[in-house]
Amino acid sequence: MDRSMPVGKAARAAVAGVTAAKIGAKKLSLLSKRPFLTRESFEERRAESDDEIAATLFRGLSTLRGSALKLAQAMSLEFGLLPDAYRKELYKSNHQVTPLNRGVVRRLIISEFGRPPEELFEAFETTAFAAASLGQVHRARGRGGEAMAVKVQYPGIGRAISNDLQLVKQLVLPFVQAEYFTKAAAEIEQRLADEIDYDLERRRTEWFHEHGQMDGVVVPRTFAEYSSAHVLTTELMDGLHLEQWLATSPSQQRRDRAAQRIYDFCTRSLAELHTVHADPNPGNYLFRDDGTIAVIDFGSAKTFDPDMGRRVLAHRRAIVHGDITQIIASYAALGAAEGDHRRVEELYRTAFAPLDAWARLPFQGETFDFGKHADYRARGAALYRDIMTHSAMNSYTAEPLLFYRTIYGLYQLFTRLRARVHMKNQWT
């Protein structure tokens, strides 16, 4: 089903307003029934209401698309930000979005290249085969016969970012911790400014194609002549998205191997390349018949100063080995409590130690079974949230937070895979 995307500020505000009204009505309906229900019945009705509200929220954000939906993706992966019912529903935003009207796509390509798609490409499929938050992807064939994936950015994204964040804040603040959400939203807004620049994403993708591929992990090449600030054309990679792949009932060995390759790719990227693919949503990994993983969508990537990369890894190693002296020193080196060792040491046992003990668990055996420990990530959510709202973290350097959020996002993927992962690789 094709659908137009509301572009103007008033049109987008109207969508958010209708969504908020529907959510409010569902809440009132539940509260009106409370005096007539037993406690058990009320809890059952509340669980049903949460599911309905979460579905309503997802539909509203899916209609808005753009930075509003991108924020929904980030919230579904963010540690401890949303109640589980809402997080699970918004998790669909990583791979279930209705594509745009094909006429809009045609006009956009003409505006970018001065030619319609049938003249620019040898062949171009007008129906998108994938749609995400900021754009949708079409199959095409280049003039040289190359199989291509053409990502077309939704119109008006750049103008909508700041307004969209306010709209989403209006919709989700009743369900989240306000201070934590404000911090997370500010970081996401900064990342979005990069992600809407398809020229930058093309250069990043090409860089990872040249430097980031490793055994079992491939990155598509790009086609500059078919790309622009709002259109990105890459090699078409075969493979299935996570839910499609799991539907084929892959063996435990294949699931373990896939998770291991994704984890090694992430940790090697920091340790050796000093650049991290920082968007761990499941739509960015394609599971291929030969066992390799295709990593796509490099709109969100972070390059670390080599010294900062070493400090982040030193912090991680200290946690893995349980070296309290080094852990405290590394927290201070990364800016916690403004680098004051004495304050960090005072805070460690009450604030930092519980989270560090949780983070150490996957490294205590030869492998960590995310299937058997399906609640592992959820148990860390509250600890992580408490840390991030602590005043001592206001001066904490942003880079390690970005890396850890990427790792924790992968934990969610590994849990879905029920994978066993060797966490102690050569980089940790």
Q: Which residue has the tokens 């995307």?
A: 5
Instruction: Write the single-letter amino acid at 243.
Output: E
Which pLDDT does position 187 carry in this prediction? Answer: 67
How many residues in total does the chain contain? 428
Rg, the chain, Cα only: 22
Which pLDDT does position 152 carry in this prediction? Answer: 93
pLDDT range class, residue 84, cuts 50, 70, 90? low
Average pLDDT over residues 270-286: 89
CB 336 within 8 A of CB 390: no
- pLDDT digit string (tens) for 403-425? 887 888 899 899 999 999 999 88
CB 327 within 8 A of CB 318: yes
Report the first-to-last Cα separation within the chain, whole angstroms: 46
pLDDT over 50 at 1, yes or no = no
Instruction: Please state the separation of Cα 176 from the chain's center in Å.
Output: 18
pLDDT over 80 at 182, yes or no = no
Name the residue among 269, 284, 270 with its Cα closest to residue 239: 284
Least confident of 49-63, 81-95, 245-259: 81-95
Cα-Cα-Cα-Cα torsion 184, 187, 188, 189, nearest 10 degrees, comes to 120
Least confident of 122-126, 255-259, 278-282, 362-366: 278-282
pLDDT range class, residue 138, cuts 50, 70, 90? very high
pLDDT range class, residue 2, cuts 50, 70, 90? very low
Sheet order of strands, 285-287 included: 217-218, 293-295, 285-287
pLDDT over 70 at 98, yes or no = no
Which pLDDT does position 80 carry in this prediction? Answer: 55
3-class secondary-structure state, position 302: strand
Q: Which residue has the tokens 């753009």?
A: 66
Q: Which residue has the tokens 């030969």?
A: 290
Which pLDDT does position 83 carry in this prediction? Answer: 62
Q: Which residue has the tokens 């791979």?
A: 95
Which pLDDT does position 239 carry in this prediction? Answer: 96
Which pLDDT does position 79 carry in this prediction? Answer: 53
Pull the structure tokens for residue 169.
């804040």
The per-residue pLDDT of the chain, averaged, comes to 84
User: Which residues does 112 contact at the CB level (< 8 Å), separation at least 6?
Assistant: 228, 229, 230, 231
Neighbours of 377 (CB within 10 A): 21
Interior CA angle at 214 toward 210 and 220, to 5°?
A: 50
pLDDT over 60 at 130, yes or no = yes
pLDDT range class, residue 82, cuts 50, 70, 90? low
Which pLDDT does position 204 carry in this prediction? Answer: 95
Which pLDDT does position 155 carry in this prediction? Answer: 78
Least confident of 40-49, 95-104, 144-153, 365-374: 95-104
CA-to-CA separations, 46 to 22, 30, 62, 309, in angstroms, rounded: 16, 7, 24, 45
User: Which residues does 276 contact at the CB level (< 8 Å), separation at least 6?
Assistant: 266, 269, 270, 301, 302, 304, 402, 403, 406
Average pLDDT over residues 213-235: 97
pLDDT over 60 at 93, yes or no = no
Q: Outline where 121-251 has alpha helix (H).
A: 157-172, 178-195, 198-211, 242-246
Question: What percentage of the chain has pLDDT greater than the value 90?
Answer: 41
Q: Which domains does the chain have, with CATH numbers?
A: 9-93+159-192 (no CATH), 102-156+194-235 (3.30.200.20), 239-428 (no CATH)
Name the residue among 76, 79, 49, 83 with its Cα closest to residue 62: 76
Least confident of 85-89, 90-94, 269-273: 90-94
- pLDDT digit string (tens) for 16-47? 778 878 877 877 887 888 887 787 887 778 77
Neighbours of 72 (CB within 10 A): 28
Distance of alpha carbon 296 from alpha carbon 265, whole angstroms: 13
Which pLDDT does position 350 carry in this prediction? Answer: 80
